[in-house]
Chain A
Amino acid sequence: MIAAGLLLLPLLFTFIILVTAGNYSRNIAMIGALGNLALVLFGWMQFDNGTTAQLYLNLMWVPSLGIQFQIGIDGISMILVLLTGFLYPFIIAATPKAEVKHPKSFYALMLTMQLGLMGVFMAGDAFLFYVFYELTLIPVYFICAIWGGERSIPVTLKFFIYTLAGSLFMLVAIIYLYFKTPGNHSFSIESFYHLSLSATEQSWIFWAFFLAFAVKIPIFPFHTWQPDTYTVAPVAGSMLLAGIMLKMGVYGLIRLVLPIVPDGVAAWGNTALVLCIIGIVYASLIAWRQHDLKRIVAYSSMAHVGLIAAGVFALNSYGLQGAMIQMFNHGVNVVAMFLLIDIIERRYQTRWIGELGGIAGQMKRLSVIFMVVMLGSIGLPLTNGFIGEFLLLMGIFSHNGWMSAFAGSTLILGAVYMFRLYRDVFLGEVKDHKITPADTMGWENYLLIPLCIVIIFMGLFPAVLLNVSASAVQHVLDIFNNVNPVVNG
C-alpha cells in the first residue's frame, strides 16, 4: 500500500493546489513533497532488500486486455524512488517564490511530474510503465516551455518530439511482446521475462527499447535535444530532467532490456556500449570548450550518464551495481550543481565564464560548497561519486579492458573542465566590481548543506545504498544469464 500512497499523495496535493489560491501553491507542494519523502523513508524502513516487489498494489485496469495496475518496489526501484522522494523538496524549493509566475499551474505540474516519475519506477506492468513514461513528458514539457528562458518553445518542442518518437517504438515492442505471452496474454513485466523469442525478434525488440531509452538518457547520437533543453529550462526543469527524468532511461535498460531480450543484448550490447563511450568522450571534450555554466553541467551530465549506461552494458554485477548507486549520486550532484549555478546567476545576472571571476573572495560559503559538489561530481574518494564511478569502471574493465580505458578518460577530462571552471569563476580577479553580492542566505543554506552532507555521507558509507539494490541486481543478472548462458558465463 505504500507504493499506492506514493502515487496518491502527489495526486491529492495536485488537486489541493488547483482548488486553493495561488499564494499557497508553493507551500502546499512542499508539504506534499515532504510527505512523500516521509513515506519513502518509511517504506525504506520496511523494505527487506529482497528481490521481489514489495509494498505492492495490484488491481485490474483494463480487464479485456489483461492490463493491470500493478505497482511494487524491489531493490532497483527502491533506489530510484528514494532519489525522487529525496530530491523533490529541493527541486520545489529551488526557485524563489517571487520568481514563479502562475504558481498554481507550475506547482501542480511539478507534482503531476512526481506522480509520473514514481509510477515509472514502480510499475510492474509494461503497459502501465509506458503510460507513466509518457505522462512525465507532458508536465516537464510545459514547465520547460512556459517557465523557460529565451527560445524555450522551439527547443522544448524538439525535446518533446524526440522523446515521444523514441517511446512510440517501445510501445510497438510492448504490444508485440504482449501477443507473444501465452494464454490470455498479459502485459506483466514478469511474464515478459519468461518469453522465448527468436534471435531476430530479440534484435528488433532490443532496438525498439534501446531507442526509447537512449533518447532519454541521452546516449550519442540521440542526445542533440539535451544541451539546449537544459540551458533554456528553468532551474527546476533542468533539475527534473537531469536529476531524475533521464534515470528513467537507465532504469528501463535494467528493468526491461536486459532480462527480456538477453540475446538481443548479447548481439548488440557492444554496439550500444561503444555508442555510450563515444558519447562520454565527446561530451567531455565539448564540456571543456563551453563558456556557459549550464551548458558545462549539461554536457558533463551527458558524460556521467553515458558512463552509467555503459556500466549497464558491461553486463556484470559491478557495472550494474555501479549504475544503481551512481544514478542516485549523480542525481544529488547534478541538482546541487544546478542550484549553485542558479544562485551565481541570480547574483551576477550571467552564466558566462568570461564575465565571472573571483567569486571565492566574495562568497566564501558558496565557493566551499561548490568545491564539495564539484569533487563529488568528479568522483574524488570519500565523496559520493567515487564508489559509483569505481564500480562502473571495474564493471566495464571486466567486460573489456580497452573500453574501460576510453570510458575512464571521462574522469580525467571531468577533472580538467571542472577545475578550469573553478579557476575561472571562483579564483582570480573579480570581473564586475559593481556587484558585491551577499553570500548564500537562509533558504539556500537549508538546501545546500543537506545536499553536501549526503554527498559526503554516501562517500563514506556507500553500502547503505549498495545493499538495497544488490540482490535485485543479481536477480536481473540471473535471469539474463540463465536464458543465455554463453554470454558472461
Chain B
Amino acid sequence: MNTLITLSAAGIVAMIGSVMKSRSWVLPFSIAALIIAGWFAAIEWNQNMILFGAMRMDNFAIAFSVVCFITATFVLIFDHQLNYAKNEHYTEVHAIVLFSLTGVLVMVSFTSLLMLFLGVEILSLSLYVLAGLHKRDLLSNESALKYFLMGSFSTGFLLFGIAMLYGATGSFMVSDIAYYLGLHKAQPEPFVVAGIIMLMIGLLFKVAVAPFHFWTPDVYQGAPTMVTGYMATAGKVAAFAALLRLFQFGLSPAAASYQSLISAVALLTMFIGNISALYQKGIKRMLAYSSIAHAGYLLLALLTAHDITNGTVLFYSIAYSLASLTAFTVVAILQSHKAADDVSAFNGLLKQNPLLALTFAIAMFSLAGIPPAAGFFAKFYIFSAAIREGWTWIVVIAVVNSFISVYYYFRPMIAAFMMKGHETSYTLSIGTQVLLVVLAVLTILIGILPGMLTALI
C-alpha cells in the first residue's frame, strides 16, 4: 500500500515540478522515491498482505516489482546522463516512469481481473506517451501511434476475455475463477475457453509474442532508445509476471484447454523472433526481434506454471533485464555520437572505448545463453522446468533456436572487436561507466553464483 502511495505521490510531485521549469532536483528525487518504494515493498516480505480484496502483496509481487524498480532506476540514471541537456521533456519522463511503476505494481499483485486490466492500462498508457517523446521526430511519432493503436486493440481482447469469464463464473476474482474452473475441469464450457483465449491474446500482445508481435520492431526502433530499454525490460517483466500470476493462480485448472495453444505460440515466437533477427540491419530492430525470441523461451515457463516456476521466471527476468539494459544503453550512447543504427556503428568499438565493447559483449553472451553469463542459467532453469514436466521435444526446438541466435548476437560483437572503425572517441561520464560496470559484473556474478539469487526466492 505504502509503495503504491509513494510512487503515485512522487509521480505527481515530479509532474508539478515540470511546470516549474526547474529540473536539477528531479533525478535525486526520483531515485529517492524509488528507493523508498522499494523499501516499503521489501518490508512486506513474507507478510502476504491483501489490499482492498483486490491486490495481494505476496513475495511474488514484491520480487517482480522490485526488479522493475531497479530497472527503472537504471533507465532514469542513464537517461539523465545521455539526455539531460537535450531532452525538453526531461522532467515528464521521470513523472511518467514513476506513474508507470504503479501500473507495474498493480499488474504483479492483482487478485481481481479488473485490477489486472487497470494495471495493464496504466503501464501501457505511460509507455505510449514515452514512445512518442521526441515529438518532432517522425519515427518516434509513428512508434507511439502504432503502439497506441495496437495496444488499444489488444485491450479490447483483454476486456472481452474478462467479460466472458465474468459471464461464465459470476466473479472477477481470480480465486473464484480458479474454483469454478476446478469444478468444471473435465469439460470446460466453450464460453469459458473462449474467454481464456481472449484474455491470453490480450496479454500476449503486451509481451509481444508471435503472431501478435508485429508492432514490436517498429515501436522499438522509433522510440527513444532508453525508452525502448525500459519497454523491453520493466514493461516486459511486468507483463510476464501478470501472465504467470494469471495462469498459476487462476487458470491452471483449465490447463488442458490452453497448453497446446501456448506450446504452439512459443514455438512460433522462437522461430519468428530468431529468424527475423538474423535479417535485421538495425541494431534496435535486431534487439526487438531478440526480445520476441526471449518471450518465446519464457512462454515455456507458462507450460509448467507452479511455485517453482516463479523463481525460474524471476531469474530469467533479471538476467534478461541486466543484459538488455546494457545493450540498449550502449546503443543509446553510440547513437548519441553518430547517426548510424546498423552493425557498422560498432566497427572498431574496442579501440574507441573498451568499456563499451566489453560490457556489450558480456550482454550479448548473456542473451545468447553462454556460460558463465547469467543468461545461461536463466535458460537452463527454464529448460529444466520444461523437461521436468515432460516437454523435452519443445526444449530441443528451443535449443535449436538458441544457436540460431548466436549468429546475430555475434555480429555486433565481431564488428566491435575485429573490424576497423573510424577514430571516434566516446566520452562517458563516471556515472555511466560505473553503472555499466555494475550491470556487467552482476551479469557475470549471477552467472557464476546463481544460488545467491535463487536462495532469496
Residues 379-391 of chain B, each 1 if its beta carbon lies under 8 Å from chain A, else 0: 0100110011000
Is there contact, CB below 8 Å, between B370 and A137?
A: yes
Is there contact, CB below 8 Å, between B380 and A157?
A: no
In the complex, A63 has a CB within 8 A of chain B: yes
Is there contact, CB below 8 Å, between A172 and B451?
A: no
- Among A127-149, those with CB < 8 Å from B are 130-131, 134-135, 137-138, 142, 145-146
Given contacts A169-B396, A175-B384, A176-B387, contact A164 B450 (CB under 8 A): no
In the complex, B407 has a CB within 8 A of chain A: yes
In the complex, A285 has a CB within 8 A of chain B: no
Residues 428-457 of chain B, each 1 if its beta carbon lies under 8 Å from chain A, else 0: 000000000000000000000011001100
Given contacts A63-B451, A134-B370, A153-B414, contact A164 B403 (CB under 8 A): yes
In the complex, A64 has a CB within 8 A of chain B: yes
Is there contact, CB below 8 Å, between B399 and A171?
A: yes
A62 interface neighbour in B365, B395, B403, B450, Cβ under 8 Å: B450
- Among B391-426, those with CB < 8 Å from A are 392, 395-396, 399-400, 402-403, 406-407, 410, 414, 417-418
Is there contact, CB below 8 Å, between B406 and A65?
A: no
Residues 168-208 of chain A, each 1 if its beta carbon lies under 8 Å from chain B, else 0: 11011001101100000000000000000000000000000
Is there contact, CB below 8 Å, between B414 and A171?
A: no
Is there contact, CB below 8 Å, between B370 and A157?
A: no
In the complex, A61 has a CB within 8 A of chain B: yes
For A130, give the chain B residue with the smallest CB separation: B371
Is there contact, CB below 8 Å, between B417 and A142?
A: yes
- In the bound assembly, the distance between CA atoms of A337 and B399 in angstroms comes to 38
Is there contact, CB below 8 Å, between B414 and A157?
A: yes
What residues on A are CB-neighbors of B399 within 8 Å? 168-169, 171-172
What residues on B are CB-neighbors of A152 within 8 Å? 418
- In the bound assembly, the distance between CA atoms of A63 and B380 in angstroms comes to 15
For B386, give the chain A residue with the smallest CB separation: A175
Is there contact, CB below 8 Å, between A146 and B418?
A: yes
In the complex, B372 has a CB within 8 A of chain A: yes
Is there contact, CB below 8 Å, between A145 and B414?
A: yes
Given contacts A172-B395, A175-B384, contact A153 B418 (CB under 8 A): yes
A172 interface neighbour in B376, B388, B396, B450, Cβ under 8 Å: B396
Q: Give the shortest distance, in Å, between B385 (CB) and chain A (any CB).
A: 10
- In the bound assembly, the distance between CA atoms of A168 and B406 in angstroms comes to 12
Is there contact, CB below 8 Å, between A138 and B417?
A: no
What residues on B are CB-neighbors of A137 within 8 Å? 370
Is there contact, CB below 8 Å, between A135 and B371?
A: yes
Q: Give the shortest distance, in Å, between A77 (CB) and chain B (any CB).
A: 21
Is there contact, CB below 8 Å, between A179 and B371?
A: no
Is there contact, CB below 8 Å, between A161 and B418?
A: no
In the complex, A160 has a CB within 8 A of chain B: yes
What residues on B are CB-neighbors of A169 within 8 Å? 396, 399
In the complex, A100 has a CB within 8 A of chain B: no
In the complex, A165 has a CB within 8 A of chain B: yes
Given contacts A62-B454, A138-B365, A157-B414, contact A172 B407 (CB under 8 A): no
Given contacts A172-B392, A178-B384, contact A64 B403 (CB under 8 A): no
Is there contact, CB below 8 Å, between B387 and A175?
A: yes
Q: Give the shortest distance, in Å, between A312 (CB) and chain B (any CB).
A: 25
| B contacts with A, residue count (CB < 8 A) | 27
- Among A433-467, those with CB < 8 Å from B are none
Q: Give the shortest distance, in Å, between B209 (CB) and chain A (any CB).
A: 22
Is there contact, CB below 8 Å, between A161 and B454?
A: no
Q: Give the shortest distance, in Å, between A15 (CB) and chain B (any CB).
A: 14
| A contacts with B, residue count (CB < 8 A) | 29
Name B's interface SS: helix
Is there contact, CB below 8 Å, between B371 and A131?
A: yes
Q: Give the shortest distance, in Å, between A127 (CB) and chain B (any CB).
A: 8
- In the bound assembly, the distance between CA atoms of A175 and B402 in angstroms comes to 16
Q: Give the shortest distance, in Å, between B346 (CB) and chain A (any CB).
A: 13
Given contacts A61-B451, A168-B399, A175-B383, contact A135 B372 (CB under 8 A): yes
- In the bound assembly, the distance between CA atoms of A91 and B384 in angstroms comes to 38
Is there contact, CB below 8 Å, between B387 and A62?
A: no
What residues on A are CB-neighbors of B400 within 8 Å? 165, 168
Q: Give the shortest distance, in Å, between A120 (CB) and chain B (any CB).
A: 12
Q: Give the shortest distance, in Å, between B428 (CB) and chain A (any CB).
A: 21
For A179, give the chain B residue with the smallest CB separation: B388
Given contacts A62-B451, A64-B451, A172-B399, contact A164 B387 (CB under 8 A): no
Is there contact, CB below 8 Å, between B387 and A64?
A: no
- In the bound assembly, the distance between CA atoms of A145 and B396 in angstroms comes to 29
Is there contact, CB below 8 Å, between A161 and B371?
A: no
Q: Give the shortest distance, in Å, between B278 (CB) and chain A (any CB).
A: 12
What residues on A are CB-neighbors of B451 within 8 Å? 61-64
What residues on B are CB-neighbors of A153 within 8 Å? 414, 418
A164 interface neighbour in B406, B418, B455, Cβ under 8 Å: B406
Given contacts A135-B371, A138-B370, A165-B403, contact A172 B387 (CB under 8 A): yes
For A166, give the chain B residue with the smallest CB separation: B403
For A138, give the chain B residue with the smallest CB separation: B370
Given contacts A61-B451, A64-B454, A176-B387, contact A168 B407 (CB under 8 A): no
What residues on A are CB-neighbors of B454 within 8 Å? 62, 64
- In the bound assembly, the distance between CA atoms of A135 and B455 in angstroms comes to 25
- In the bound assembly, the distance between CA atoms of A145 and B416 in angstroms comes to 12
What residues on A are CB-neighbors of B383 within 8 Å? 171-172, 175
What residues on B are CB-neighbors of A168 within 8 Å? 399-400, 402-403
Q: Give the shortest distance, in Å, between B387 (CB) and chain A (any CB).
A: 5
For A127, give the chain B residue with the smallest CB separation: B380
What residues on B are CB-neighbors of A157 within 8 Å? 407, 410, 414
- In the bound assembly, the distance between CA atoms of A302 and B71 in angstroms comes to 49
Q: Give the shortest distance, in Å, between B384 (CB) and chain A (any CB).
A: 5
Q: Give the shortest distance, in Å, between B410 (CB) and chain A (any CB).
A: 6
For B384, give the chain A residue with the smallest CB separation: A175
- In the bound assembly, the distance between CA atoms of A405 and B403 in angstroms comes to 39
What residues on A are CB-neighbors of B417 within 8 Å? 142, 145-146
- In the bound assembly, the distance between CA atoms of A152 and B392 in angstroms comes to 36
Q: Give the shortest distance, in Å, between B337 (CB) and chain A (any CB).
A: 24
Q: Give the shortest distance, in Å, between A9 (CB) and chain B (any CB).
A: 18
Q: Give the shortest distance, in Å, between A108 (CB) and chain B (any CB).
A: 12
For B381, give the chain A residue with the smallest CB separation: A65
- In the bound assembly, the distance between CA atoms of A171 and B381 in angstroms comes to 12
- In the bound assembly, the distance between CA atoms of A152 and B455 in angstroms comes to 43
For B407, give the chain A residue with the smallest CB separation: A161
For A154, give the chain B residue with the smallest CB separation: B414
Residues 26-68 of chain A, each 1 if its beta carbon lies under 8 Å from chain B, else 0: 0000000000000000000000000000000000011111000
Q: Tell me which of B372, B380, B417 has the highest count of chain A C-beta atoms within 10 A of its own C-beta.
A: B380
Given contacts A153-B414, A153-B418, A172-B396, contact A65 B402 (CB under 8 A): no
Q: Tell me which of B399, B414, B417 has the highest count of chain A C-beta atoms within 10 A of its own C-beta.
A: B399
Given contacts A62-B450, A62-B454, A64-B451, contact A161 B384 (CB under 8 A): no
A-B pairs with beta carbons under 8 Å apart, 26 shown: A62-B450, A62-B451, A64-B451, A64-B454, A64-B455, A65-B384, A131-B372, A137-B370, A142-B417, A146-B418, A152-B418, A157-B414, A161-B403, A164-B406, A168-B399, A168-B402, A168-B403, A169-B396, A169-B399, A171-B380, A171-B399, A172-B383, A172-B395, A175-B395, A176-B387, A179-B387
Q: Which residues of A contact B (CB under 8 A)?
A: 61-65, 130-131, 134-135, 137-138, 142, 145-146, 152-153, 157, 160-161, 164-165, 168-169, 171-172, 175-176, 178-179
* Given A172-B383, A172-B395, 18 other A-B residues pairs in contact with their CB atoms under 8 A: A62-B450, A64-B455, A134-B370, A135-B372, A145-B417, A145-B418, A146-B417, A161-B403, A164-B403, A165-B400, A168-B399, A168-B402, A169-B399, A171-B399, A172-B399, A175-B383, A176-B387, A176-B392
Q: Which 10 A-B pairs have the closest CB atoms?
A: A168-B399, A165-B403, A131-B371, A62-B451, A175-B387, A134-B371, A175-B384, A64-B454, A164-B403, A179-B388
